[in-house]
Amino acid sequence: MKRLITWGFIFLFVVLLLKSCIKQDIEPVYTPQKYSNENLDNIKYPLKNKNITIDGVDYLQSQAPVGEYGGELILSTIGEGPKTFNPCNTKDATSSSMAGLLYDGLLTTHPLTGEVIPLLAKSFSAKGNEYTLNLRKGLKWSDGKPITVDDVLYTYWEVVFKGLGNTATRDAMLINGKLPKLYKVDDYTVKFVTPQPFAPFLRLLSYPIVPKHYFKPVSDKGESAFNAFLSPNTPPSEIVSNGAFKLKEYVAAQRVVFERNSDYYKINLENKKLPYLNRLVYLIVGDTNNEILKFEAKETDVLSLRGANVARYKQRESESDYKIYNLGADTGTLFMVINLNNRKNSEGNWNVALHKQKWFRDRNFREAIDWAVDRDGMVRNIAHGVAKPLFTSESLNSIYLNKKLQPHPKDLNVARKKLEESGFIIKDGVLYDLSGKRVEFDLLTNAGALERESIGVMIKQDLEDLGMKVNFKPIEFNTLVNKLANTCDWDMAIIALTGSPLEPHDGKNVWKSNGPLHLFNQRKPNQKYDDRLAWEKELDDIIEAGAVKLNFNERKQIYDKYQEIIYKEKPIIYLYSPIRITAVRKRLKNIFPTSLSGVVYNVDEIWIDKKGEVK
Amino acid sequence: MEFFRFVLKRFLQTIPLLIIVSLISFFIIRLSPIDPLAELRLNPSISQETLDKEIKRLNLDKPIGIQYLSWAKSFVKGDLGYTSSGEKVSVKLKERIPNTLLLTLVVIFMTWSVGVPLGIFSAIRKESPFDRMITVLASVGMAIPSFFFAILMLIFAVKTGWFPVGGLTSYNFNEMSFIAKFVDISKHLVLPSLVLFTISLSGLQRQMRANMLEVLDSDYVKFARAKGLSEGKVIFKHALRNAVNPMITLLGFEFAGLLSGAALTEYVFQYPGLGRLILEAVMKSDINLVMASLMMGTIMLILGNLLADILLMLTDPRVRQEAK
């Protein structure tokens, strides 16, 4: 009898356990369209900032509604926190965004339109290859010393041009191996002269300006001293900066606290000094799960949402203290690249087997794959509906996006027709080429990236509908990079690159025939590229031409053409871009999210409505 | 004299051990397919020049043997080198060690002050309902995985709002009064130490109970009882002293775990200790940081054992005899 009861209890326990597994706490999302509606359209953005001179000081006036002073904004940053506060030596996103709070550059990007606008500079003008910038008068570093033209000259002459710290800006400024020249015109004017007209140059002037009297003693000691300068453990009171916020405290693996710079040069409509916030706190969290928990426990104010979480947060939005903003598609481009390589390696073997070369270099074949891939299915099943199908090489929020290139759904009939045109034959659901060889190839991606692995499985199934045999192999990231960049012995691969939504020239390493990341037809650094395809040559010309055209509309036309070529030739089949969705506490005011800059880019204008505070 | 010879001998024995441990770990990390520069390689805006510079800075252009030797050379000199992001390893470790020590010492204090008496008590009241209940609870404590328990605790913290979600201090910690600071840290410590406490308490309690039972069953305890000594005297003067010896060895291990024992729990609770630092370092193949922490762990283990042996020598005449 006793045993019976015991077994009864165990049975009941197991049944209850199984029951709890069956019930999902989230309703599955079948309507991705719900999230792709842009809700940024009805936001009224404050107009361009104005310059106002009061008592000889050139202030920058924000046009955002006037708010209340005080309070703190608490954000989170995933990872290990900043590695340095030296704005010239940041190599990761966290460090550069935090150092960016401390140091302003001459110019900046308009958060909505993406055009270049003045920040620390009062105004600028560009004519041909000459760029003249006027500085603001009466500005001070946080230690009270004036910001002068010498600081600007020092920053460019002795830091950027000499290649100290992170050399990305210097690399980007090199035009045919030559650096631009910088002249001092008078005490408040500088002039840059580039060797030839170079469109990406202006945007590079957002490089932070650093105080000469504080940096020069260190930079004179050489590169290693400069790299170690302003490490996170530097006593905050020592740091001389000019940004809207000053560093207050850094606690390893816990938080970074900034306090307002009470002498910042930005003012509000009542001519009172910004920023409104007393403090800006970044909590350093290890992973997304912890970030979510912190937001739910009301320890943080802003949370960027991913995948399945979106549905849950959206459901609870109406009875919560946060509002959800859909920022539209991200800059990331996730794609499948096809290897068009037709060269031999150093041992005399083909990088890609000869019969495969014929397939991969055949546009019909690539188009067939493009038509067979079910992007909508991926968005629905893999990205939980929080993504948009992607067909262009520029990301969907790029200001250079060619909107004429239309998306298309999966259509196996079109795909089959393309294959037939090139003489492929489908027999008993198996695809053979002209010579009777079965179409079979490898598809690689990096192991451990769950999203890409699921995409690989879906693509494999999609292409099997065409009778292709796809051997999907997730391999180690390094092995994959090595294959892509060096050995070139692969068929197809799923990877992602981060692009810039503002400057298509940044992609030159990918699109130029001899670029170090010319994935789909990789050549060795010293290899000739006289074997390039007609459209590869066209791309080379476009990249060159786009860099020297200065007018936005003319550039746009050029880059429209480049996107058209990729869209037509399909060496890379773009899949989808994730959509960024952010939850923001309602008590934060002056929130004007944009697709380009996110939510908290205007941290100097954000204020906290204490009446709306929910305790 | 004997004592110092013993210590010296043990000390010399550790040197080959350290070399072997460092060799194995260095090669395993370096041969693992994690490339510290993989992300840079796939960044379209990074030039080859920058990449080469990074490779040189991280010594990746040299053969692995040379890499090991140059690491070993500076390690012997007491220089732990720089992390892959250019910070001093010693500084990074120094930031974290006090936090980890705080957590582990609190936990050790709690487990020992509760576990040992509980073990003794349930040995004396063997098979009583109390003992059975403790046994069940101990089994539960041993069976529950620490990370899972930690996640449950985190959910508890979010749902109730009684405790902060991870971390060690609140963002406005520096403006608090001394008492408020104390309360703040305690509040942050409750959940992680509760998790670690539950997990290690059961082991300790079982161990103590078993030791005690064994001793209580021995002839001299029976003799002491037959002599008519009071039960308290029998237990505390005769049985306990002998039962405590294995616990000293255990204490040595606890010492070894001081810095590394709480890694998983630390990670779940985002506790700013060594565990999280080292895990992140391993993920990025940050060789100097990983090696430094591994060597530290090894040294702590050796020291812990040495400490336990010395303590045993002091408490147990039999061991003293053997050492001679």
Tell whether A329 is covered by a domain: no
Residues of A in contact with B38 (CB under 8 A): 477-478, 481
Q: Is the per-residue pLDDT at A174 higher than 50?
A: yes
pLDDT above 80: residue A484: yes
* A317: amino acid identity, one letter: E
Give the tokens for residue A422: 């090139």
Does B215 score more than 80 pLDDT?
yes
Nearest C-alpha of chain A: how many angstroms from B87? 7
- Domain span at residue A198 reads 82-224
Query: A167 touching B, CB under 8 A?
Result: yes
- Band of pLDDT at residue A614, cut at 50, 70 and 90: very low
Q: Per the domain annotation, does A442 fall within a domain?
A: no
pLDDT of residue A120: 93
- Report, as an integer, the average pLDDT of A350-354: 91
| Whether the predicted interface score ipTM is above 0.85 | no
Task: Kindly state whether residue A144 falls inside one of the protein's structural domains.
Answer: yes
A18 vs A194 pLDDT, higher one: A194
B48-73 burial, b for 16+ CB within 10 Å, e for fewer?
eebeeebeeebeeeeeeeebbeebbe
Q: Do A297 and B49 make contact, defined as CB atoms within 8 angstroms?
A: no
**DSSP for A381-429, written as a single string:** HTSTT-EEE--SSS-TT-TT--TTS------HHHHHHHHHHTT-EEETT
In-domain check, residue A133: yes
- Asked if the C-beta of B283 comes within 8 angstroms of chain A's C-beta atoms, the answer is no
Q: What does the pLDDT read at residue A36?
A: 43
Q: Summarize pLDDT for A581-591 with one digit per residue, the tens.
A: 999 999 999 99
Lowest mean pLDDT among A311-315, A391-395, B48-52: B48-52
- Residue pLDDT, tens place only, A78-90: 888 898 999 998 8
Q: How far apart are the two ends of chain B, measured CA to CA in Å? A: 10
Confidence of residue A220 (pLDDT cuts 50, 70, 90): very high
Q: How many domains does chain A have?
A: 1
User: Distance (Å, rounded) from C-alpha B258 to C-alpha B266?
Assistant: 13
Residue A111 in domain: yes
The structural domains of chain B, with segments of one domain joined by +, span 2-77, 89-283
**Which candidate in A293, A393, A526 is best for mutational testing of the B interface (most B CBs within 10 A)?**
A293
Tokens of B212: 């005690």
Tokens read off for A65: 């509604």
Buried (b) or exposed (e) across A36-71, using 16+ Cβ within 10 A? beeeeeeeebeeebeeeeeeeebbbbbebeebeeeb
Q: Are strands A266-267 and A57-61 parallel, antiparallel or unpaired?
A: parallel
CA dist A77 → A289, A292, A345, B142, B202 (Å): 12, 11, 44, 35, 37
Q: In chain A, what residues touch B43 (CB-CB under 8 Å)? A: 497-498
Would the pLDDT of A461 be above 80? yes
User: Residue range A174-198: average pLDDT?
Assistant: 91
Inter-chain touch A251–B272, beta carbons under 8 Å: yes
Higher pLDDT, B73 or A281: A281
Tally of CB atoms within 10 A around A12:
10
C-alpha–C-alpha distance, residues A374 and A457, integer Å: 12
In a domain, A125, yes or no: yes
Please write the tens of the pLDDT for every residue from B107-163: 999 998 998 888 888 888 888 888 888 888 888 888 888 888 888 998 888 888 888
Cβ neighbours around A535 below 10 Å, total: 15
pTM comes to 0.84
pLDDT mean over A4-11: 82
DSSP characters for A537-551?
Answer: HHHHHHHHHHHH--S
- Cβ A228–B86 below 8 Å, yes or no? yes
Q: For residue A139, what is the domain's CATH number? A: 3.90.76.10
Residues β-bridged to residue B169: none
CB pairs under 8 A between A and B: 117
According to CATH, the topology of domain B89-283 is: MetI-like fold (1.10.3720)
pLDDT over threshold 80, residue B2: no
pLDDT confidence band for A252 (50 / 70 / 90)? confident
| Percent of chain A's residues with pLDDT above 70 | 95
Q: A121: closest CA among A209, A62, A215?
A: A209
> At residue A33, does pLDDT exceed 50?
no
Give residue A93's pLDDT. Answer: 85
pLDDT 10s digits, B262-299: 888 888 888 888 888 888 888 777 888 888 888 888 88
